[in-house]
Structure 1
Amino acid sequence: MIRKSIGLLAGMLVTVAVYAAGAQLRADHPDSYTVRRGDTLWSISARFLSKPWLWPEIWQANPQVHNPHLIYPGDVLDLSFVNGGPSLRLEPSVHHEGEAIPALPLDAIKQFLKDSRVVDPSQVKDAPYVMGFEQADLTGTAGQNIYVRKLNAQPGQRWAIVRPTHVFRTYGGDEAKQSDEMAANIADADVATTDTPWMEEWATDLGNVTPNHTFRGKTLGMEVTVIGEAEVLRSGDPATLLLLNSTMEVRAGDRLMPVDDNPYDPYYYPHPPKTLPENGRVIAFAQERLSQVGPYDVVVLSVGSKDGVDNGMTFSLWQPGEKVPDDVNHSSWMRDSHTWVKLPDEYVGHVMVFRTFDRVSYGLVMDGLKPVQKGARIQLPE
């Protein structure tokens, strides 16, 4: 089912440049594609383009399509040519099947869409907290009453129960403007450290919260995980709440925050940044015990909505080059006398942001040539 303008040369089936953005068609691109369940915007655009994040640059929506970035199973994407240049046209199905196609595989990111938040540490410190359970139990499970202090709420209101998990900080103490050498040196730093005055002060209040690396950089935010939901039965100090559900046992010291019914935007599309945020780095991994990650792993970036980052924004990741001695050009056999040379940065992969907070973002590694390590710098995806 080939649909191209009359007179189009067969040679145009190979990769061609598109507009000023430089989007390129894959040499093996299909002429049309029917959207299926399980597809994502990234996987579909990768069928047509060598740079999937540039899909909007060649998108031409039909007039009847209200939002060109919402596509559904059964829709047909057709590659056509307008004024000598390629354009993706959408032929909507008569009956949409299910929900719109997401930008990323939801199975890889779902726990970070609703169950995790990044807030200012002061919000956690000042939040209402669980202080006890009915029958003097040490922990609480669904169906039990829990007692909460500092809660100003009325009966019937629901609250999320959260547990602090990580403190995210920049690399180094100077707004993440430290040298690439420092970033490389701490790339493999152990996240499980409590060597900070902040940790000593809050150890009793917040439990086992760990900073994301050992350097005392500027605090970007605190990650909390939603572990349950409770409903107010009686106000007071302490207030009585019914624990409606929980993913783990609730402990004394767990915090309460308002329920967020719409924590994220499920519909967005891959796109490059208009300008590159300054000093963006990979500062943590979702799987904190790993020293490096790869495709479809979640990473934490040190830039957020206040830096101009939004959902779908795509970056390339570059690992800072190590500093090594030049064993050839030296005047002595002693290692300390060698000339030290910083190796070039190395491209390792692409990351797409799927949830942003003020100064921190969650991103999914989409592809890569090498494993991603902490300290990797973000650059324009080109």
Structure 2
Amino acid sequence: MNKSLIIILGSMLLFFSLISYAEEPPASPQPLDKEMDYIVKKGDTLWDISKRFYSDPFLWPRLWQQNQYITNPHYISPGDRIRLYPYKVLIEVEEGKPPKVEEAKPLRPPQLEEVPPPLPPPPEIIRLVIYPEVNSAGFITDKMEGIGMIVAAKVDKLELVAEDEIYINFQKGFSINKGDTFTIFRVGEPIKHPITEKVIGRKVLILGTAVITKTTEGKAQTALITRSYGSMVRGDELTPYFAPREELAVNTMEKSLYGWIVASQLDKLELVEGDVVYIDRGEDDHIRPGHIFHVLRRGAVVPDPGSKNKKEKVKLPDELIARLVVIKTQQKTSTAVIVQTRLSVQVGDEVTTVSE
């Protein structure tokens, strides 16, 4: 009987030990030890931000206190700027100790003191050679047809890159000579307008260039891929070579014109200087290469804390966040490169021409 009792007691001790181990919380990341700005992303809450940067979601009221421009702590929008202070500062506030920063600084709205500096005046000449993405910028169009197609490669492999020898079948009646250069492209998926959700065309991806090395009458022509911006495959098409511009003179428009960024070349969430974007204004709107656009971030509409009407709203100021310059135009769209930024740019941001 004593032996049975010992076995039971041992099993109970093992059981509670396992429970204690299972309930032990994972080690928390190191709390923030520096002062910084944070741009709110979709789905963020003050609770989540406090948990991420301070390992304690219950510090969110202190985070709100340090950002008093936030009128409703349960309503923050993507693009809002929140000032984050070191963990020790929040703890000192919690314990009633004076923070080690200027007293007025945490209480000022970020848009008054903490925003990035304004953009400098735009340059008169844009040197495109400093932006490598321009070489493969591509464009959005309703229709794009090639004059030839890659049908095979000398070395049998799925993906083709620079220095690979390929075979091209051209349309009948098209004259081909040794040394001719062509641009290799691929037509991508339809692009929907981020505001209207209507299809505005397809993105044409520029993949590389090829040079004819040997001509054969009535048969596939031999070529060498001389430059690749991405891997190519059989079925990719060719069009006569168009050399990228090295520089552009910046021009303004005679009248104001608004539009939107409808897509980006690399499908990035946050776009910065040097990234290529596509806008919904083109040749039909008299847009030409060199025209400069402002990128605007429209101010959010928030509850008015000074109004007796709880439903009363107030609109925050619009912000100039970047500039872009058109490098290529189609009938209804244009390709542009971001040349100056003070905040990251997103698809769906509004653009406006710079008028004289």
> Please, what TM-score do these two structures have when normalized by structure 2?
0.53
- Deviation, 1:225, is 0.7
Note the C-alpha offset of 1:162.
1.7
Counterpart position of 2:187: 164
CA contact (8 A) 2:295 2:324 kept: no
Q: Report the Cα distance in structure 2 between the residues aligned to 1:350 and 1:121, rounded to whole angstroms.
A: 28
Distance 1:162 1:271 in 2: 29
1:234 is aligned to 2:216: yes
Q: Per-residue CA shift, 1:102-127, capped at 9, x if unaligned?
A: x2243442431x43332634324x65
User: Shift of residue 255 of structure 1?
Assistant: 0.8
2:279 matched residue in structure 1:
301
1:284 paired with 2:263, answer yes
For 2:351, give the aligned amino acid. I
Looking at structure 2, the residues matched to 116 and 368 of structure 1 have their Cα atoms a distance apart, in angstroms, of 19
Q: Is the 8 A contact 1:324 1:342 kept in 2?
A: yes
Identity of aligned residues (%): 14
How many correspondences in the alignment? 231
In the alignment, structure 1 segments of 5+ residues that lack a partner are 1-48, 56-102, 174-214, 332-337
Structure 2: gaps (5+ residues): 1-118
Match for residue 31 of structure 2? Answer: none
Give me the whole-angstrom Cα distance separating, in 2, the residues matched to 1:144 and 1:50.
47
- Superposed, 1:105-254 pairs within 5 Å as 105-112=127-134, 114-118=135-139, 120-124=141-145, 127-134=147-154, 136-140=156-160, 142-148=163-169, 150=171, 152-156=173-177, 158=180, 159-165=182-188, 167-173=190-196, 215=197, 217-231=198-212, 233-236=215-218, 239-247=220-228, 248-254=230-236
Tell me, in whole angstroms, the C-alpha distance in 2 between the residues paired with 1:316 and 1:310: 15
Q: Which amino acid aligns with 1:253?
A: G
Q: d(CA) in 2 for partners of 1:368 and 1:143?
A: 39
**Whole-angstrom distance in 1 between the partners of 2:225 and 2:276:** 29
Q: Which residue of 1 aligns with 2:296?
A: 318
Q: 1:286 to 1:119 in 2, by over 3 A?
A: closer
Q: Deviations over 1:49-96 (max 9, x none)?
A: 97446x7xxxxxxxxxxxxxxxxxxxxxxxxxxxxxxxxxxxxxxxxx
Match among 340, 344, 349 for residue 376 of structure 1: 349
Say which one has the larger Rg. 2
Give the secondary-structure state (helix, strand or coil) at the position aligned to 1:372.
coil
- Cα deviation, residue 355, structure 1: 0.5
Report the residue type matching 2:235 in the other structure.
G
Structure 1 segment 28-39 matched on structure 2, within 5 A = none
Query: Contact 1:353–1:361 (CA<8 Å) still a contact in 2?
Result: no
* CA distance, structure 1, for counterparts of residue 165 and residue 353 of structure 2: 51
Distance 1:340 1:372, change over 3 A: farther
Displacement of 1:233:
2.0
Q: Paired residue for 1:356, among 309, 328, 333?
A: 328
Change (3 A) 1:154 1:312: closer
Shift in Å at residue 137 of structure 1? 4.3
Any idea what SS the aligned residue of 1:373 has? coil
- Which amino acid in structure 2 is aligned with residue 285 of structure 1? S
1:135 and 1:317 map into 2 onto residues whose CA distance is 47
* CA deviation after TM superposition for structure 1 residue 257, in Å: 0.9
SS at match of 1:104: strand
For each residue in 1:135-165, what CA deviation from the matched residue of structure 2 results, as whole angstroms up to 9, or x when unmatched? 6544445352424364643442533222335
- CA gap 1:146/1:50 in 2 versus in 1, 3 angstroms: closer
| Corresponding residue of 2:57 | none
Secondary structure at 1:153 match in 2:
coil
- SS of residue matched to 2:259: coil
After TM superposition, list the pairs within 5 Å mapping 1:339-354 onto structure 2. Answer: 339=311, 341=313, 343-344=315-316, 346-354=318-326
322 and 163 in structure 1: CA distance in 2 versus 1, 3 angstrom threshold: same
Superposed, 1:261-276 pairs within 5 Å as 262-264=243-245, 266-276=246-256
